[in-house]
Structure 1
Amino acid sequence: YRQLDAPGTSDLTGCGVFYGSALTEAASCQGHDVYIVGGANSAGQAAMYLSRGAKSVTLLVRGESLAASMSHYLIQQIEESPNISVRCGTVVEAAHGSE
């Protein structure tokens, strides 16, 4: 993975900003709006997994579409998931929050 180069992300690493998606983070996402930065298979798999308990999951993708870096079957699953949305052509400019 690559760490986000945006103001505020290093201060929130481990308490809102995570690099990787594991069972330990899934519990803290229950009922919340979740944003995943990335457009490859690992981001898509995390979106599918976290969408089971999250209120919503938004994939933030730098590229024009998921097709260039994600498997077709995973794109189909994401498109069929009512609480997952995809925003292409996006850049994370900053992260804000506390605790």
Structure 2
Amino acid sequence: MAVHGIIISKEPSAELAPDQKDTDSLPPYEVLDEILKYIIEGKQLSKAEYQRVKSYVDQVNETNQGLINKITKMIARNEYKRFQAPLIIRIRARAFGNGRQMPIAAKY
């Protein structure tokens, strides 16, 4: 029983180095989730949800300029990893998968 409590309460980590935490290089998951929703799903979200997410991302951008660009670049830089993964089930209208590809020669 005690072992389960430790695993559940442990912070997420890539565990590439001792005592490394995801928050060492990423914002907290509550912030990251909203930013990813804005970057990836964008206007595919319902109008109300898009406005809520955009407002939140604008607030984050005011306090931490460059964070949105950093996360966008991280997504682009690691795009190749998606092609190494097994097929996925698409839950939302716009998700990672063959329907979302980054242009190779042009910016967008």
TM-score range, shorter chain: 0.3 to 0.5
Calculate the TM-score normalised by the size of structure 2.
0.31
Calculate the TM-score normalised by the size of structure 1.
0.32
Q: Hey, which of these two has a bigger chunk of helix by percent? A: 2
Q: Hey, which of these two has a bigger chunk of strand by percent? A: 1
